[in-house]
Chain A
Amino acid sequence: MKKILTIASGLLLLTLAFAWWMSSRGPKPVELIPTLTGQPEYCITCHADVPDISPSHPTVTFGCVTCHGGERLALNADLAHSTMRGGANPSDLSVVEASCGGSNCHSGSEADDRNHIQRVMTSVQSTYAGAIANIRYTFGAQTDLNAHFGISAVTDDQTQTGITSLAPFDPASETNPSIQKFGEECLTCHLRAEPREGDAYARQTGCAACHSPAPPLSSGEGWGEGKIHTLTTAISYAQCNTCHNRGNYDLRSMTFVERDDHPTQRIDDYYQPIAQFTQCEYTLDCVDCHTRDEAMGDGDIHANQKSIEYVQCKTCHGTPTELPLTKTLTDPNDIAFRLAFLNPVVDLQLGDTIIVTEKGEPLWNTKVLRDGTYEMIGKATNQYFTFKPVMGSHCTQSGEDQSSSYCHECHAVERQP
């Protein structure tokens, strides 16, 4: 008996020593106390290699949990990740308010121009209102082309467009099979949509769809190698391309045919064979001309893309009888400076004269030169361009007919068939 007791006590010592050894193994917790929250978090124990997402959101200030959620104290991956918002995309619009919102962040006041979330929620890129109305009209579910439905319900009390609310589009309550098919097949794009299954699609909703550059993808590839932790306002053509050149729809079968190649030739690989381009349309990046309001919405609910997209060739080039609108920056708080600060491709100075749109939005990457010509710096490419106004050229197009389709008549480039 005494012998057994000795052996047992030895075993007890062994198991205790084993317990000690087991609990001293494993990674040393690495603490981060973001200055914004003051609450310790341990994400960087494993994620030390994740770079700051942008100069405006340094990790030492924001930490990880502010945007991503999650259990900040847990050292077990499953538990730590269990309450993350939106998985790989905390900016998905279903959780964006908790991740990116707050009055000091991106759901601030309209006067400060910090109401990004509210504007995006009502934008056509989120609501898909135009296409839904069009399809319902085409298949007889509504008698006009007015927008009644969005991907989710949105309301706007102070609308300038006359549309105060959109009801959520519910394909199940439609009777026409084509509209039902449309509901099944075509509601997975757009910022407010529920993203399709798979890592490759996780970042194609919410803010990340535009501001977090994705590798070129086809049929779900492209995420694994290059996990990207970046937010930027230097949004390249390739980023817009991930959605706007992802494939083509087939109206007869009401399906979306995803392309399986990597479009490289901008002019030839565009999904719509009939589209026409002038040189600047395939040389510049989309955001070089198209403005914040067009892409992110202006806070009002619009019926369709046409109702919000307004920048035309003439915005920069003017017409035979008019020069483009310009503005000399005299207010140091001008929004143009903030935009140039976020994407410092130009050194904008007080007293510089830049082109503005008819709604007053600054094209802050342009400048009016002394000789009456203009310069533009590519927001994503940093390329330098100069251009001349139409006025004084031999263009004879009437001032009335200035939409881009008229310009395409002469200036479009021949595409490969």
Chain B
Amino acid sequence: MRPSFFHHLHPPTIPAVQSRWRHTLGAGGTAILLMLILGVTGILEMFYYVPNPQEAALSVQTITYHVPFGGFVRNLHYWSAQLLLIVSAIHLLRVVFTASYGRPRRFNYLLGLGVFVLAILLDFTGYILRWDEGICYPLVTGTNLLKTIPLIGDFLFRIAVGGGEACNTALLRFYTWHIFGLTIFVLILGVWHAFRVRRDGGIAVPPPQLRTDNERISRNELVRREVLQIFVVSIVLILMSIFLPAPIAAAMTGKPIVTEEARAPWFFLWVQQMLKWGDPFLFGVLIPFAVLTLTALIPYILPEPADADIGSWFPKSNRLAQIIIIAIALIVIVLTLMMVLT
């Protein structure tokens, strides 16, 4: 079989250990697939979405209820975005738990983390684009958090919102950030990240002399496995999009609605829970930023995992990194649950 373009994106052969599903969980590849789906469905939505405060929510209703398959496309976009965050988090956990971030992959670890952060920002800006009555408070608090940053806070607020009152004016900026500003960065970082995987010697495994299994698979086999993963993920996504409609609410009137409790989107609930405790700059900016920095520094300040441990689950030589990342994940989950359950 003559290799196609898609085959040519892969090396002719790779060690079989690098492509085992129980080793990679297919998380990185799934993330790429989800991003592609997001790109395509996002462009489709742009044919009908109107980034204007008076019409935005109505155009979302038009997409959802009147455009043929519009609701389906929107659900695909929504669920791909939510799954992307989960898959990215799983990918990050996998990399730490299998000690796969050591030299020479330290920089690529940062690139991946950058893609993760951008994905969160994309999810938040996309959530705001619904421009329905539920998004006002998260928008107000989210952008007011920027203002609490000393010296550059007001400047960042204007960059993000354009000034004025967020619930009246932020839509156009968030639209541009979502469609273009953040997307172009995620594209650059994402392609760079994938490129660096190959440049750094493929998926992290011990050096050849320490490997017990020296079997190699052809790229045809690799592509088949990827295609299978694509099929499975697509089927799951399609079924979710059929049965679980993406949230939709009445158009925002420029004023928040009267409500007992306003909730942030699910991936920021942990921050909202902390904000209940006090100083917004500390709990809403410094601590999340510290969590991010700590995660980013794992390959740089902790001892390198032993060569033989690379690619095996929960090895001894990077226990500390595992503990740190488990602690972070647990704290985020517990905070989220506290917010959901109270």
Contact = CB atoms under 8 A, between A and B. Distances in A.
Physical contact A–B (CB less than 8 Å)? yes
B322 to A, nearest CB: 33
B72 A71 contact: no
A249 B66 CA distance: 54
Interface string A68-107: 0001011110010011000000000000000000000000
Given A1-B221, A5-B228, A23 B66 contact: no
Interface in A3-19: 4-5, 8-9, 11-12, 15-16, 18-19
Interface in B54-113: 58, 61-62, 65-66, 68-69, 71-72
B65 A73 contact: yes
B227 A19 contact: no
In this complex, the interface size class of chain B, counting residues with CB under 8 Å from chain A, is 20 to 34
Contact of A23 (B61, B72, B231): B72
Contacts of A19: 69, 72, 238, 241-242
Contacts of A79: 61, 248-250
Contacts of A5: 224, 227-228, 231
Contacts of A18: 238, 242
Contacts of B167: none
B131 to A, nearest CB: 13
Contacts of B241: 19
A76 B235 CA distance: 25
B35 interface: no
A2 interface: yes
Given A8-B232, A83-B250, A29 B66 contact: yes
A83 B248 CA distance: 13
B119 interface: no
Nearest to B248: A79
A391 B61 CA distance: 70
B66 A8 contact: no
A22 interface: yes
Nearest to A84: B250
A83 B252 CA distance: 10
B231 A74 contact: no
Contacts of B129: none
B120 to A, nearest CB: 27
A42 B72 CA distance: 20
Nearest to A81: B250
A70 to B, nearest CB: 9
B248 A23 contact: no
Nearest to B243: A22
A23 B250 contact: no
Interface residues of A, number: 25
Interface in A266-287: none
Interface in B24-60: 58
B234 interface: yes
Nearest to A70: B250
Contacts of B224: 1-2, 5
B238 A71 contact: no
Nearest to B60: A73
Contacts of B251: 71, 83
Contact of A82 (B66, B221, B234, B249): B249
B239 interface: yes
B133 to A, nearest CB: 8
B235 A12 contact: yes
A15 B235 contact: yes
A23 B249 contact: no
A71 B61 contact: yes
A87 B318 CA distance: 61
A150 B228 CA distance: 72
The winner among B65, B235, B239 for most chain A CB atoms within 10 A is B65
B254 to A, nearest CB: 14
Nearest to B231: A8
B231 A12 contact: yes
Contacts of B231: 5, 8-9, 11-12
A1 B161 CA distance: 51
A4 B228 CA distance: 8
Interface in A239-276: none
A76 B250 CA distance: 11
Contacts of B245: 76
A2 B228 CA distance: 10
Contacts of B68: 23
A18 to B, nearest CB: 7
A73 B61 CA distance: 6
Given A19-B69, A71-B251, A73-B61, 4 more contacts: A1-B221, A12-B234, A71-B61, A71-B250
Query: 9 tightest A-B contacts by CB?
Result: A8-B231, A73-B61, A75-B65, A83-B250, A15-B238, A82-B250, A15-B235, A12-B231, A22-B242
14 contacts: A1-B224, A1-B228, A5-B227, A9-B231, A12-B238, A15-B234, A18-B242, A20-B69, A42-B65, A71-B61, A71-B251, A73-B66, A76-B248, A83-B250
